[in-house]
Amino acid sequence: MDDQGLRSVPTTPPSRRAAGSRTPARPPVDTAEPAWKAVRSSVTLLVLIVLIGGYAYPMVATEVAQTLTPATAGGSLLQSPNGTYYGSTLLGQNVTSPCLFWLRPSIIDYQAFTGAGSEVPYGPTDPHLLNITTYYAHLYGLTNVSAPVDLFSASASGLDPAITPEAAFVQVPRVAQNTSLTEAWLTGFVQAHVNAELLGFIGPEYVNVLELDLDLESHLPSAGLGGGCGVG
């Protein structure tokens, strides 16, 4: 490549770099460096990018994050009084108790570590999509009402902790039936847990089901994390 570079120039013999470099009035002279110098420059450059982009930048960012926002920097983890972690407010879990609110179906059953393959694997016109939607409508006992599509369909991450407010309200009759709580009280309870739009126009209204259920649990007769369902 070096030789081609020299050959292509139809001008005076190539002068050395020091002589030719800063005199723009001269006709074009290709003064390409030898290849070994390019390798040396490239390697030095890469060492620099590894040290700054690969090491210094994430280290400094971590220091800053642990100082400014220690809780969220650590993954917004939920810790029980005895010190064990039982999840993150950002990650959904597959709630199955009939007296609590349920989340969306998950392709990976809310396993954060597998991660791979969380994407919805069927197309929009695939009969499987219709089947699975109907399956969940039956499972959730919601065949007679119009329910929002998010409650019956998987998210892209398989870890979505949120549902639309409508998907929470539609579950109120079931929760009321399985607990001693009234529908009116539960509706108000869900209402209080609706995350509003940011600044009034950014983001949807949604309910973080994990937070909703943790709070609801404390209102059930056998309160506490180990309690599960209350009075049937």
Partner 1 sequence: MIPTATLPEIVLIFIVGLALAAALGRYMANVYQGGFSRWDPIAIPIERGLFALMGVDPKRAMGWREYLRGLLVTDAIAIGFVFLLLQDQHSLPWNSLNVPDMSWHLAFHTASAFGTNTDYQHYAPESQVSLFASLFGLQTLMFLSPATGLCTFVAFARGFARNDGKVGNYYSDLVRTFTRILIPLTVLGALAFILLGVPQTLTQAVAIAPLPFAGGGSEIIPLGPVAGWDSIEFLGTNGGGYFAANAAHPFQNPSASTNLVAILLMMAIPFGAPFAFARIVRRPGEVWPLIGTVLIVFLIGFGLFLFAAGSNTYLPASVDQGSGYFVGAESRFTISESALFQFTSVYSNTGATSMSLASLTPIAQTVLLFGMFLQATPGGDGIGFSMLLIYVVLAVFMGGLMVGRSPEYLGKKISMPQVKWAAAALLSHPFAILIPVAVTVVSGNVVPALGGYSPHGFTILLYEFTSEAANNGSGMAPIHDGTEFFNVVGALVMLAGRYFPILAMLAIAGSLSQQDSRPPGPGTLKTRTATFTVFLALFLIIVAGLLFLPVLALGPFSQIAAGG
Task: Report helix, strand or coil for 163.
Answer: strand
Stretch that binds partner 1, among 48-56, 175-183, 186-194 (CB under 8 A): 48-56
Alpha-carbon gap, residue 13 to 152, rounded angstroms? 75
Stretch that binds partner 1, among 164-172, 174-182, 184-192 (CB under 8 A): 164-172
Contact (CB, 8 A) for 114 and 142: no
Least distance in angstroms from the C-beta of 34 to partner 1: 11
Least distance in angstroms from the C-beta of 78 to partner 1: 8
Stretch that binds partner 1, among 28-36, 177-185, 186-194 (CB under 8 A): 28-36
Contact (CB, 8 A) for 208 and 159: no
Q: Can residue 230 be called a binding residue for partner 1 (CB under 8 A)? A: no
Q: Can residue 232 be called a binding residue for partner 1 (CB under 8 A)? A: no
Residue 16, classified by CB atoms within 10 Å of its CB into exposed (0-12), middle (13-18) or buried (19+), is exposed
Alpha-carbon gap, residue 59 to 57, rounded angstroms? 6
Among residues 174, 175, 189, 217, which is the contact residue for partner 1, using CB under 8 A? 217
Q: Can residue 34 be called a binding residue for partner 1 (CB under 8 A)? A: no
In eight-state DSSP terms, residue 33 is P
Q: Can residue 65 be called a binding residue for partner 1 (CB under 8 A)? A: yes
Q: Can residue 149 be called a binding residue for partner 1 (CB under 8 A)? A: yes
Rg (CA), the chain: 30
Least distance in angstroms from the C-beta of 117 to partner 1: 7
Q: Can residue 54 be called a binding residue for partner 1 (CB under 8 A)? A: yes
Alpha-carbon gap, residue 149 to 137, rounded angstroms? 10
Alpha-carbon gap, residue 152 to 142, rounded angstroms? 10
Q: Can residue 53 be called a binding residue for partner 1 (CB under 8 A)? A: yes
Among residues 12, 19, 94, 141, which is the contact residue for partner 1, using CB under 8 A? 94
